[in-house]
Amino acid sequence: MANAPVQRMSQLMAKTLRDDPADAEVISHKLLVRAGYVRRTAAGIWTWLPLGKKVLGNVERIVREEMEAIGGQEVLLPALLPREPYDATGRWEEYGPELFRLQDRKGGDYLLGPTHEEIFTLMVKDQATSYKDLPVILYQIQSKYRDEARPRAGVLRGREFLMKDSYSFDLDDEGLARSYALHRKAYQRIFERLGLDYRICAATAGAMGGSKSEEFLAPADAGEDTFADCPNCDFAANTEAVSYELKPVDASGVPAAEDIPTPDTPTIETLAAQLGVPASATLKNLLVKVDGEIVAVGVPGDREVDMDKVEAHFAPATVEMVTEADFAARPDLVRGYVGPQGLDKVTYIADPRVAPGTAWITGANKADTHAKNVVAGRDFEVDAHVDVVVVQEGDPCPKCGTGLKLDRAIEIGHIFQLGRKYADALKLDVLGQNGKPVRVTMGSYGIGVSRAVAALAEQTADDKGLCWPQEVAPADVHVVAAGKALQTELALDVSEKLSAAGLRVLVDDRAGVSPGVKFTDSELIGVPRILVAGRRAGEGVLELKDRRTGEREELTVDEAIARLT
């Protein structure tokens, strides 16, 4: 492979900035902009400048290598998608306002893909005919589109962002479990190679449907997820991950769907007051227990709030049925609903249409039908089976008893066992060994590639700037010409030699920029090793500095090359 040419800062399309962007709240946003990695094009829409693109490319490469290692085949599907497959699975409506919907000149409905289960399912339906074609893992690295309610944390939460999404297709449950395990391992390798600190947490399947699901969370203050972390063992759980199994008792006598007046939906604050739990300051991790039983957990804002059981506890009202169609017609009437996931296992799902601060008020007792003011016990037998125990700070760890910590984290990856939800909706069968059609079972697996860049920035930055791990850094070494012609000549010479030895080199050869500014910029940019041609350039002596530790040593050109290669 040809060596990468030396990247000269005098020619680089990127300016470093002294001040943080005015709207920036999180470190990665501030530093990636200031160091000239990204520029904001519109809210939640980002341009990647040369240094940023290099880091992004390095993350992509690692993801690609590990996906290939588990037999993944890379494809590229369109981002502009027709409505019909999303109608077939119900997601055209269910996805809510996060979905970018648009029309072509003939009035046909389209969307910009937020995730691609439908289209992959159809692709396999088109390509695979027999059991011999399975199992298969397909993946792509592609821009995704979600009209996020609050795209404010830089590239951590884009409205356009780069995702690696993969999908597994198997003949049976054992096959799916194998594909899931392969992905789990690949994800562990990817995040280790990226140098990210992460935890694996059980999670709810969310709007994706299906059964088993785990999230990969990178602890960081800027994170928007809260998780319970054991300081002593490997226990970690997402505090959002609670699901109840609801069994319908008897839905007969339940009134049919009709136009029901909007009840006074209690706010979380009201409920908290009624329940005597701490008010809004602690509502980030609201945990509500009634008679010792966990009935709700949630985060106010654009996140889901599982308040159905709270509502059930307070609601004296009759059962009111609301259908999906009602929902579509009167979004102001219905504040939340449960997706049609079958009768005996209902997982409460996020509905982005739920107004911020509004309690979750539904239950489900009929397929494709959603009820308000359901009374648990009367309308349902509530098998209050909690998949993941939700905890508060200091609660004992279920594994080892140590007091748990509640930490903030960034969701960097998410893996799902989808089962047959999509295959059923889109009728994906292959011919089985016995000549009969077999319904395919699926998994889907995502990594936020652009988000991973920001997560790494969050975890590795210090008070001077970015500080990349070697494998993702935009260069292996940042050579600084700290002085005039003599220093520049030495810097360029050593840069060429390092490049010839196979290193990726960024050299600060800018004329008219003071050594002080160049040092500050090199620390801001965050290449792990900085090689300075300065005071002793005349003797051919350079100073090598470790960006993280600040350790320095003086070396000749030959010594520097030997040390760095």
Q: How far is the CB of 528 from ligand ATP (least distance, A)?
A: 25
Q: Which is nearer to ligand ATP, 313 or 414 (CB)?
A: 414
Return the amino acid letter for 311: E
How far apart are alpha carbons 163 and 169 in whole angstroms? 20
Token pair 């260069």: residue: 475
How far apart are alpha carbons 370 and 147 in whole angstroms? 25
Short-list 292, 275, 427, 433, CA closest to 359: 275
Token pair recorded at residue 333 = 């009437």
Binding-residue total with ligand ATP (CB under 6 A): 15
Question: Which of the ranges 265-273, 337-345, 409-417, 527-535 carries the binding residues for ligand ATP, by CB under 6 A?
Answer: 409-417
Of residues 447-476, which lie at the interface with ligand ATP (CB under 6 A)? Answer: 448, 450-451
Of residues 356-415, which lie at the interface with Mg ion (CB under 5 A)? Answer: 411, 414
Report if residue 421 touches ligand ATP, rule: CB under 6 A: no
**Cβ-based neighbours of 40, under 8 Å, separated by 6 or more:** 21, 33, 46, 47
Report if residue 158 touches ligand ATP, rule: CB under 6 A: yes
Q: How far is the CB of 189 from ligand ATP (least distance, A)?
A: 17
Of residues 160-189, which lie at the interface with ligand ATP (CB under 6 A)? Answer: 161, 163
Asked whether the beta carbons of 474 and 51 are under 8 A apart, the reply is yes
Among positive and negative, which fits the CA dihedral 277, 282, 283, 284?
A: negative
522 burial (CB, 10 Å; 0-12 / 13-18 / 19+) is buried
Contact code string over 408-447 relative to Mg ion, x by CB under 5 A: ---x--x---------------------------------
How far apart are alpha carbons 510 and 49 in whole angstroms? 18
Contact code string over 109-128 relative to ligand ATP, x by CB under 6 A: ------x-------------
Report if residue 272 touches ligand ATP, rule: CB under 6 A: no
Of residues 492-531, which lie at the interface with ligand ATP (CB under 6 A)? Answer: none
266 binds, among ligand ATP, Mg ion, none (CB under 5 to 8 A by kind): none
Short-list 228, 222, 185, CA closest to 31: 222
How far apart are alpha carbons 22 and 42 in whole angstroms? 14
Q: Which is nearer to ligand ATP, 144 or 372 (CB)?
A: 144
Report if residue 157 touches ligand ATP, rule: CB under 6 A: yes
Judged by CB under 6 A, the residue of 217, 412, 506, 532 near ligand ATP is 412
How far apart are alpha carbons 294 and 314 in whole angstroms? 15
Q: Which is nearer to Mg ion, 240 or 311 (CB)?
A: 240
448 binds, among Mg ion, ligand ATP, none (CB under 5 to 8 A by kind): ligand ATP
The binding site for ligand ATP (CB under 6 A) comprises 115, 146, 148, 157-158, 161, 163, 411-414, 446, 448, 450-451
